[in-house]
């Protein structure tokens, strides 16, 4: 019989870099900026929500 181990550890610092990545407010060096026109938004924000940052 198998088993699963789950280890949860609080991350250091804040999630500013992750939020910036999700919101596309930073441009990583390995991203081709000429292809951003190919991006698609697969899930629309609900009414009253403009981004994922907390208010």
Model pLDDT for residues 8-52, shown as the tens digit of each residue: 888 777 788 778 877 778 888 888 989 988 988 888 888 888 766
Count the Cβ atoms, other than its own, within 10 Å of residue 4: 4
Full-prediction pTM beyond 0.75? no
> Is residue 6 pLDDT above 90, yes or no?
yes
Asked if 14 and 53 touch (Cβ cutoff 8 Å), the reply is no
Task: Please give the backbone phi and psi of residue 7, each rounded to the nearest 5 degrees, phi first.
Answer: -115, 120
**Residues in Cβ contact with 53 at an 8 Å cutoff, skipping those fewer than 6 apart:** 19, 23
What pLDDT score does 26 carry? 84
Joined tokens for residue 14: 């804040």
What pLDDT score does 13 carry? 75
> Is residue 55 pLDDT above 60, yes or no?
no
What pLDDT score does 5 carry? 93
């Amino acid at each position: 019989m198998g088993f699963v181990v789950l280890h949860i550890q609080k991350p250091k610092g804040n999630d500013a870099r992750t939020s910036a990545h999700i919101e596309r407010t930073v441009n990583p060096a390995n991203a081709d900026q000429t292809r951003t026109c190919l991006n698609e938004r697969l899930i629309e924000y609900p009414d009253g929500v403009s981004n994922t940052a907390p208010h």
